[in-house]
Structure 1
Amino acid sequence: MKYLLLLLSLLPWMAQAKPDLARVMGETLIERGSDFYTFKHFDLPSADGQRHYRVYLAIPKQAAPTSGYPVLYMLDGNAAMAALEDQWFRALPETPLLVMVGYAGERVINAPARTLDYTPAPQTGQPLVFQGRMAGGASAFLQLIETQIKPHVEAKYQLDNQRQSIWGHSFGGLFVLNTLFTKPQSFNRYIAASPSLWWQSGLIMEIEKQLPADVQAQLLILHGELEGQAHKGREVPKERAAAMRAVGADAVPKMLKRLAAFPGLQLGYQQLPGLGHGPMLPASIPWALKVATEPLAQ
C-alpha cells in the first residue's frame, strides 16, 4: 500500500509533463546525492562509430545479498537518470543495481540514435514511418548490451543471474518486446512501457511468432490511459497515424491474450490513469523497479 500511495502521489505532476526532445538533463541524483546509491559512468562507441554511448551505473550503498544484486537495465539512460527520485527506493524490498544506457551529451532524448538502436529491421519494400531517420538496428544494439555492457558490469559487481530485468519506453518498449520474442534468454524480467506496437504497421506482431514455446520469463506492459488521444496543437504525422490505424487500438490486449498461451511466461498489465505517452516514461520507472526487485517465487 505504501508503494501504491507513492506512485499515486507522483501522477499529478507527471500528467502535466510534455515530451521535449531538446530538453537537457539538468541536475540529477548524481548532483543532489542519494541515500541509496553512488554513481559512476563509462563510455563506449557503437560498432560503426556513429553513436557514442554513456552508461550510467547506480551502485547500491548496501552490500550485495548472497545471491547478488538484482539488476535493471534501462534504455533512454539519460532520461532515466534525469527522472530518478530517491523516494522511489524507500518502499522497495531491495536496492537494485541500475544500468542506464544513454548517449553521450546532456540531451535527455537522442531521437535519431534511439530510432536506429531500438527498432527491429523493417520488412523489405515497406516504407519507413520516419523518413530521414535510420532504423532497424535493434539486433546490433542488443549485441552491444550482451557483449560489451553486460560483461563490464558483471566483472565489477555481484549480480543475481535470476533477477536480470530490462525496461524501455516507447521505441524502448518496442526493443524490450523484440528482445523477449527473439532472444528471451537475455533477461528474466521484461518491462515494456507504452511500446510502439505501430512501428512498421505492427511488425512486432510478426516477430512475436518467434517466441519459443518453452520461454521462461516475466513480462509487464504498462500503458497510459490517455495514450492515443488527440492533443491540442499536436498533429500526428500521416504515416504514423496510418500505421497506428493498421495495428488498432486493441493491439495490447490482443497481444496479451496470445501470450497467455505460453505457460512459462508470467504476464502483467497496468494502465496508469490520466497519463499520455510522454509522461509514461518517468511514471513507469517505479513499476519497473518493483518488478526488478520482486523476490523469486518459492
Structure 2
Amino acid sequence: MKPVALLLALCCLFNTAHGATVAPAAYALPNTEVRDIRAQALQRDYQLFVALPDSYREGSKRYPVVFVVDADYSFAVVRNIAQRLAKHAGLEEVIVVGLSYARGDSGVYSRRRDYTPTTPRKHDYRSDMPGRQPAFGEAAGYAKFISSVVFPVIASQYRANMGRKIFVGHSYGSLLGLQIMLTEPRTFEHYILGSPSLWYDAGIMFEREQAYASTHKDLPASVFFGIGGLERLPAGKKRSRSEENADMLADLKEFNQKLTAHKFPGLSTRLRVFDDEDHASVFPMVLTHGLRAYLKSSR
C-alpha cells in the first residue's frame, strides 16, 4: 500500500475507533453538470443545471431541450419525470436545462425580479434580503439573457436540437413564459405553463394579451396550460385581480378563452385542470401532461 493511502486508512480506523463521525457524501444525480454563467447585461451571475439523457454517450443524436426556471426546486423534478417518461412511457429523451436563481440572491428576491413583467402599480411587498429594496419587472431583460446567452452555450456545448426548445414555468415562472410568448413567441417551440399568476399587477397580462392581439394577426405558439382544481377563490369572497382575492382557475380559463377567441392560425393551446391538486402540488402533473402534449411517443 502506498504511504498516502496507508495514512488515510489508518486515519479512518483511528476515527472509527474513537467514535468520530465521517460526514456522508452528498447525493449527486447521474449525468448532470453545473455551469457558471454570467449575465453581463444584467450584471449578475447564474448557474445552468444540465441533465443529459441516458443514451447521450451512445451516438450522435440531437435531443429536444427542456428549459425550466425555478431550477433550485424544479430541476431534479423535471429531470426525473422526463427520464421516467422516456423509459416507461416511450416518450422522446430530452436534455434538461435548469435556470438557477441569481448567485447571492434569495429565491424569492431573484424570481420576483427576473420573472415578473412590471413593477406592480400598487404593492406592499417587502424585501427578504436585508438592506435591499424589493425588485420587480425585469422579465424582458431576463428573457433576452436566456435567448442571447444561455441558448448559445447549450447549442455549442451539447448535442441539442435548438429547433425543439420547450419552456417550463410555474406561477411567477409562467408569467415569464407569457412575457416571452407575447413578445418573441418563436423563442420556444412549446410552452408548458402551470398556474400562472395572472392576478399580478392587477392583471397586467390580460392587458398585454389585448395589446398583442390589436397589432398582430398571428401568435405562433404551442402552449399547454395546467392548473389545480383547488386553485379557486373560497366561497363568499369576491373575485378580483389581486393576490388576496384571485381565482387563479377562473383567471386561467378566461385568459385561454381570450387567446383562442382571436383564432390565431399558428396558435395551439390546451388547458388541463387537475381536480384534486392545489398550487403547491400540481406542478409534476402539469409537467407530465405538458411533455406528453409535445414529445413524440414510440407507443
TM-score range for the pair, normalised by the shorter chain length: 0.7 to 0.9
Q: CA deviation at 1:284?
A: 2.4
Determine if the alignment matches structure 1 residue 221 to structure 2 residue 216: no
* CA 1:206–1:104: 2 relative to 1, 3 Å: closer
Summarize the alignment of residues 146-185 of structure 1 with structure 2, pairs less than 5 Å apart: 146-185=147-186
2:15 equivalent in structure 1: none
Report sequence identity in percent.
24
CA contact (8 A) 1:176 1:190 kept: yes
1:288 equivalent in structure 2: 290
Between the aligned partners of 2:36 and 2:284, the Cα distance in structure 1 is 24
2:270 equivalent in structure 1: 268
1:62 equivalent in structure 2: 55
For residues 105-140 of structure 1, give each alpha carbon's deviation from its aligned partner in whole angstroms, at most 9, with x where no partner exists.
Answer: 799x811100100000237xx223634421101011
Aligned-partner SS, 2:97? strand
Q: CA deviation at 1:147?
A: 1.2
* CA 1:203–1:131: 2 relative to 1, 3 Å: farther
For residues 145-199 of structure 1, give each alpha carbon's deviation from its aligned partner in whole angstroms, at most 9, with x where no partner exists.
Answer: 0111100000122333432110100000111111101111211111110000000
Match of 2:117 among 117, 120, 130: 120
Summarize the alignment of residues 1-298 of structure 1 with structure 2, pairs less than 5 Å apart: 31-33=28-30, 38-47=31-40, 51-63=44-56, 68-83=62-77, 84-85=79-80, 86-90=83-87, 91-103=89-101, 110-122=107-119, 126-128=121-123, 130-132=125-127, 133-209=134-210, 210=212, 212-229=216-233, 240-242=243-245, 244=246, 250-260=250-260, 261-294=263-296
- Aligned alpha-carbon RMSD (Å): 3.0
Between the aligned partners of 1:197 and 1:166, the Cα distance in structure 2 is 18
CA contact (8 A) 2:227 2:249 kept: no
> What one-letter code is carried by the residue in structure 1 that aligns with 2:223?
L
Query: TM-score, normalization: structure 1?
Result: 0.74
CA contact (8 A) 2:115 2:175 kept: yes
For residues 215-246 of structure 1, give each alpha carbon's deviation from its aligned partner in whole angstroms, at most 9, with x where no partner exists.
Answer: 2220111000111356xxxxxxx96215x27x
Between the aligned partners of 2:182 and 2:59, the Cα distance in structure 1 is 31
* CA 1:258–1:270: 2 relative to 1, 3 Å: same
Q: CA deviation at 1:48?
A: 6.5
- With a CA cutoff of 8 Å and minimum separation of 6, indicate the structure with the bigger relative contact order: 1
Unmatched 5+ stretches in structure 2: 1-24, 128-133, 235-240
CA contact (8 A) 1:129 1:200 kept: no
CA contact (8 A) 2:155 2:162 kept: no
CA contact (8 A) 1:57 1:98 kept: yes
Unmatched 5+ stretches in structure 1: 1-26, 231-237
Between the aligned partners of 1:264 and 1:193, the Cα distance in structure 2 is 21
2:131 equivalent in structure 1: none
* CA 1:50–1:106: 2 relative to 1, 3 Å: closer
CA contact (8 A) 1:69 1:160 kept: yes
Q: Which moved more, 1:48-57 or 1:136-145?
A: 48-57
Q: CA deviation at 1:251?
A: 2.0
